[in-house]
Chain A
């Protein structure tokens, strides 16, 4: 009896773990929502094929024989993201998929947005004319004082005479926190430009473009080498220009260096936004410059990447563009949900028919697996920006089969053990020991399939592989923490011990047959029917399990004697 009690306690412990796990996930999401995390939600996000929208797949165009670097692609993604965000489109998703970039936007984008996504980034160097904090300002103490010093024609790109009163008004009114640029706005390279930096903290009036990204050969992050050639802890970004760029840069720094702040600064812009605006500390003639400042390793790398890849104009070709109307999306979702519901109802009916009272466990397992899947997907929506797609739903539906199967494998095992003549509470335990191996190894195969597919494929296949893997893991969790303990607890109840026809565990008297120990097998009457006399078959059938075991033991000892 004490053994039984330990089993009950272990079963309850497992169920408690499961509950803790589920409450824990719900708690984490709930906490996220309470603490104002914007994306924390209990409503899973839907991918475009269910919510409607447009998916554009872009392939980078690279020169023949050249490979596109992953960093280059990442940079392109972040540039595209900034551009899409600037159009005010929310909920856009931009991912890489192999060498392609997948842009998913709700609704149907207009041709401007599309053009914007496709165009390559523009990196430009402009001299700084005026700079200040990124809010509305007035120049001078007492109201607006003209920046322009005379009516003379500007003589150099750094000349303040370029700032017309109109330009000055634009600058003064500019508040970086409001929308100030049209997405995809193309600026005249010959004219000054009023803009902000990416972080929207500083605003500038910049002179005309002096160097473009084409002249920048590369950029990397590194530590500054001190006067004695010893590396210091200070991080910096190194720029390398090509010959033409080096000459231009020497000219620019030559002009900027003697000027006063802020005119001794030059700004680097991508898509019209300033990414950095360092002060010129020397005339740089060698074609390689160093930007220092309050960098750490990470921030210097970010800037170096922006400079390096922003300067490489990769352009993109649209490989495919697919629209799904919101109506069609919700139709697909409804159909998927309806089908899933009908499917589950059918499975429940079938289970009741097959497993009678124990169908409670199959249904329970499916409900627990369903809840666990739902909250995990909600968690992934928040933490990993996961979106459920139609192919993902297909993976989940496969999961119904896998979850139900784990129960079936275990159940059939229990019946096998019962057929061997074991009492129910023993059968439940010994069957588990055998069934769990099967469940684990078949789960491992499923998991292997999903991991390999997830790592090696793209797009929809990936979405499918992901949910298949997720449901396999959930299935294993549910089997260990719910199905098995529930089985243990239920079969201890009076009803299931009664052998009632509705328990699903009753056995008709039937001949047991199977492996009974090393080297001994009971013969299946039908396998050898005709070869073994009918009478012996009858006799064997009438034997009790114990008798049969005894005969088997005799046989094996007889065999051992023969061998001796």
Chain B
């Protein structure tokens, strides 16, 4: 029998238990510190590292080139337009991506030919494109609207299903934590914010709430009519639910993270910058943070919001009195 199964049994019975609810002060503190950092870091670092889709500019892709030196591109571009910023990235096995600020059609064609010469490929192997500064903003604006409306609808759905607004509120708190933290991580590590990263970011909200709902469903079940119990309190039942679903939470996040991690690894090693890496990075961070926040923030916060309700405090007083009587 694996130790993990054993652990599962013990967590279920309460033989072993991590006091998530009782130690919430520390988790809150940790959450507040990380969230403040996640907000401060981008401010200090001067914002996010936005991809060309957000900045706008000209882009060239040189394919089937055996020369993979980035310095060649800079020299070639500067031959045509001196002293502009040139970002060169190697993508995959034989593609070189060169990004510059927006150039005129004429300049752009000259740069294209210069790059073909520099990288010793046919002219047709250099594709030039240009991206207006509005495109990324357009996508993001719509995505943000989508996010807002989703959060609103999800809050209503959860409130209806769980029959309490407080569960919605706790879940949203955790969701906000996840989103801010991931955004902060992008800024802190200087990862490029591309439309693909935005997609990954949106996944977090789906995943974070999905995970929270599973745990909350157990909490709902455990705390059903808990105010009539003479042996356990509301907070204890919430904590028990977290512990009972702990093995599930860990297994689920491992199973979710494994494919994403392999995409991240393969994407980053074989392809370098690109859609795969950007999406999987946000997913990777999101799944881990989403699972974490359910256990350490959403559930304790829910307990916090409800245990002050009169019916629960009354029951709790009775139980504590009874326990001290037995112990004494």
Contacts and interface: CB of A to CB of B under 8 A. Distances in A.
Contacts of A415: 8-9, 12
Contact of B142 (A400, A401, A456): A456
Interface stretch (A254-262, A340-348, A423-431): A340-348
A25 interface: no
A521 B237 contact: yes
Contacts of B200: 394
Interface in B81-109: 91-95
A459 B134 CA distance: 14
B50 interface: no
Interface stretch (B179-187, B205-213, B296-304, B306-314): B205-213
Nearest to A331: B92
Interface string A177-217: 00000000000000000000000000000000000000000
A530 B276 CA distance: 53
A332 B224 contact: no
B260 A519 contact: no
B165 to A, nearest CB: 16
Interface in A53-67: 54, 57, 59
Nearest to A509: B9
A506 B1 contact: yes
Given A347-B258, A468-B206, A521-B231, A441 B149 contact: no
A531 B263 CA distance: 50
A517 to B, nearest CB: 9
Contact of B14 (A331, A332, A343, A524): A524
B149 A320 contact: no
A59 B134 CA distance: 10
A353 B199 CA distance: 32
Given A394-B280, A524-B14, A445 B195 contact: no
B44 interface: no
Most buried by B among A57, A347, A515: A515
B150 interface: yes
B252 A405 contact: yes
Interface string A444-480: 1110111011011111110011001000000000000
B266 A354 contact: no
A357 to B, nearest CB: 13
The 3 closest A-B pairs by CB, nearest first: A524-B14, A343-B259, A401-B256
B219 to A, nearest CB: 11
A321 B292 CA distance: 40
B275 A391 contact: yes
Contact of B276 (A57, A100, A335): A335
A528 B237 CA distance: 12
Interface size class of B (residues with CB under 8 A): 35 or more
A350 B255 CA distance: 8
Interface in A319-351: 319-325, 327-328, 331-332, 335-336, 338-340, 342-344, 346-347, 350-351
B61 A328 contact: yes
B157 interface: yes
Nearest to B282: A394
Interface size class of A (residues with CB under 8 A): 35 or more
B236 to A, nearest CB: 5
A100 B141 CA distance: 14
9 contacts: A318-B132, A321-B129, A323-B61, A339-B266, A354-B2, A412-B8, A452-B153, A461-B143, A513-B12
A49 interface: yes
Contact of A323 (B12, B127, B134, B265): B127
Contacts of A340: 259, 262-263
A514 to B, nearest CB: 8
A76 interface: no
Contacts of B237: 521
A402 B210 contact: yes
A547 to B, nearest CB: 16
A276 interface: no
Most buried by A among B15, B256, B258: B258
Given A525-B15, A531-B324, A510 B9 contact: yes
B305 interface: no
A335 B271 contact: yes
A74 interface: no
Contacts of B15: 510-511, 524-526
Contacts of B16: 526
Contact of A523 (B9, B218, B232, B270): B232
Interface in B12-48: 12-17
Contacts of A455: 146
Contact of B92 (A320, A327, A350): A327
Interface of A is mostly: helix
Nearest to B129: A321
B193 interface: no
Nearest to A536: B326
A530 to B, nearest CB: 7
B275 A332 contact: yes
B164 interface: no
A459 B256 contact: no
Contacts of A336: 263, 276
B252 A457 contact: no
A456 B146 contact: yes
A453 B228 contact: no
Contact of B217 (A335, A441, A513): A441
A343 B260 contact: yes
A338 B266 contact: yes
A468 B199 CA distance: 11
Interface string A526-564: 111011110010000000000000000001000100000
Interface string B127-143: 11111101100110011
Contact of B124 (A108, A450, A507, A510): A108
Contacts of A398: 203, 206-207, 256, 283
A320 B131 contact: yes
Given A347-B255, A524-B232, A391 B129 contact: no
B196 to A, nearest CB: 7
Given A394-B200, A438-B213, A108 B231 contact: no
Interface in B55-83: 59, 61, 63-64
Contacts of B9: 415, 419, 507-508, 510
A346 B258 contact: yes
Nearest to B9: A510
B143 A457 contact: yes
Contacts of B17: 524, 526-527
A400 B64 CA distance: 34
Given A415-B8, A416-B12, A522-B231, A515 B221 contact: yes
A559 B228 CA distance: 10
Given A405-B255, A508-B1, A531 B326 contact: yes
A405 B267 contact: no
A449 B128 CA distance: 36
A282 interface: no
Contacts of B256: 398, 400-402, 404-405
A390 B12 contact: no
B115 interface: no
Given A408-B251, A513-B13, A332 B276 contact: yes
B118 interface: no
B130 A318 contact: yes
B89 to A, nearest CB: 12
A381 B132 CA distance: 30
